């Protein structure tokens, strides 16, 4: 199954948009959209951590690779005056991203359907690139990083919030939110990523292993999901409307994979040196 199919096959965008319009007639807040547009471990809290890095560097032209349903793009748009562009290989995510932006008071930002391994931009087009849980699906990490370097200005920054291969990768259990089976998951170790970054022309500035917080966050989500089955106060939208019923198994598998060291979650910041 190709990666577009993984993300599109169970996407119930019409039902999702109708529910949002009905439940939030004045438009949903970014927090109310988070269950379906922050599709990474750590949710909106992890996106806040990325925004703290942007506050330090104040980039003007930001590219998000693998922008999905666009939660991070809308957060950036609502807080920074920078120009934000998203790209994603899953066309239906891009359509959903635009439709969700229309429901909020965010201004529209360009979203392009393309492959991160072949970016349709001129050299030096951006001064910051962000990948949040996107490298994990990209077969050729080195090629993607070379493309990032090409479209980044000299001294531009690359911010990564990614799932990496842990020390016990043989214990990996599927499905997980980014892959129903091993052929869709392209995890590499922190050491391999560091080497590829250096070879591609990036200097690593900060690297934080966020696995313990990620595990605690996922456990809290699991508790909320269990109680929300019976609660009228449960969020009206859920990742199940994007990933299908298999999400009920994907969430617990993330806990198992983090607990057993099959995967790790890292946040890295790098600077283009070439």
Ligand X SMILES: C[S@@+](CC[C@H](N)C(=O)[O-])C[C@H]1O[C@@H](n2cnc3c(N)ncnc32)[C@H](O)[C@@H]1O
Report the interface residues with ligand X, using CB under 6 A: 3, 7, 38-40, 65-68, 71, 87-90, 93, 115-117, 132-134, 137-138, 177-178
Cα–Cα distance, 238 to 35 (Å, whole number): 5
Cα–Cα distance, 165 to 188 (Å, whole number): 5
Cα–Cα distance, 232 to 48 (Å, whole number): 28
Q: Give the angle 112-63-73 at the CA atoms, nearest 5°.
A: 80
State in angstroms the smallest separation of the CB of 132 from ligand X: 4
Residue among 84 and 227 whose Cβ is closer to ligand X: 84
**DSSP code of 183?**
G
State in angstroms the smallest separation of the CB of 25 from ligand X: 25
Residue among 115 and 225 whose Cβ is closer to ligand X: 115
Q: Find the residue with minimal CB distance to ligand X.
A: 68
CA proximity to 132, closest of 209, 222, 41: 41
Residue among 140 and 153 whose Cβ is closer to ligand X: 140
SS3 263: strand
Residue among 61 and 74 whose Cβ is closer to ligand X: 74
State in angstroms the smallest separation of the CB of 138 from ligand X: 5
Residue among 203 and 224 whose Cβ is closer to ligand X: 224
Phi, psi (rounded to 5 degrees) for 153: -65, 155
SS3 content of the chain, % helix, strand, coil (to 5): 45, 20, 35
Rg (CA), the chain: 18
Residue among 17 and 112 whose Cβ is closer to ligand X: 112
- The residue written with tokens 């891009």 in the block is 94
Cis peptide before 190 (omega within 30 of 0): no
State in angstroms the smallest separation of the CB of 90 from ligand X: 3
Cα–Cα distance, 175 to 188 (Å, whole number): 18
State in angstroms the smallest separation of the CB of 177 from ligand X: 6
State in angstroms the smallest separation of the CB of 264 from ligand X: 16
State in angstroms the smallest separation of the CB of 86 from ligand X: 9
Residue among 143 and 171 whose Cβ is closer to ligand X: 143
SS3 9: coil
């Amino acid at each position: 199954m190709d990666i577009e199919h993984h993300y599109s096959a169970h996407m119930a965008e019409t039902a999702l948009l109708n529910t949002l319009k009905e439940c939030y007639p004045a438009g949903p807040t970014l927090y109310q959209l988070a269950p379906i547009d922050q599709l990474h471990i750590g949710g909106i809290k992890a996106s806040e951590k990325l925004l703290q890095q942007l506050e330090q560097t104040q980039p003007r032209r930001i590219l998000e690779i693998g922008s999905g349903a666009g939660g991070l793009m809308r957060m950036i748009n609502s807080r920074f005056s920078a120009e934000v562009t998203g790209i994603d290989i899953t066309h239906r995510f891009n359509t959903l991203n635009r439709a969700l932006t229309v429901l909020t008071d965010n201004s529209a930002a360009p979203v392009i359907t393309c492959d991160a391994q072949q970016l349709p931009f001129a050299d030096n087009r951006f001064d910051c690139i962000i990948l949040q849980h996107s490298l994990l699906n990209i077969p050729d990490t080195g090629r993607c990083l070379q493309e990032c370097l090409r479209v980044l200005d000299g001294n531009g920054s690359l911010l990564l919030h990614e799932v990496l291969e842990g020390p016990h990768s043989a214990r990996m259990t599927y499905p997980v939110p980014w892959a129903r089976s091993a052929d869709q998951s392209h995890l590499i170790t922190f050491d391999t990523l560091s080497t590829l970054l250096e070879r591609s022309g990036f200097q690593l500035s900060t690297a934080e292993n966020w696995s313990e917080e990620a595990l605690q966050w996922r456990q809290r989500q699991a508790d909320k999901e269990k109680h929300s089955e019976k609660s009228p106060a449960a969020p009206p939208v859920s990742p199940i409307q994007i990933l299908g019923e298999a999400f009920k198994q994907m969430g617990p598998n993330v806990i198992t994979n983090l607990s057993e060291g099959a995967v790790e979650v890292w946040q890295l910041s790098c600077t283009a040196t070439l």
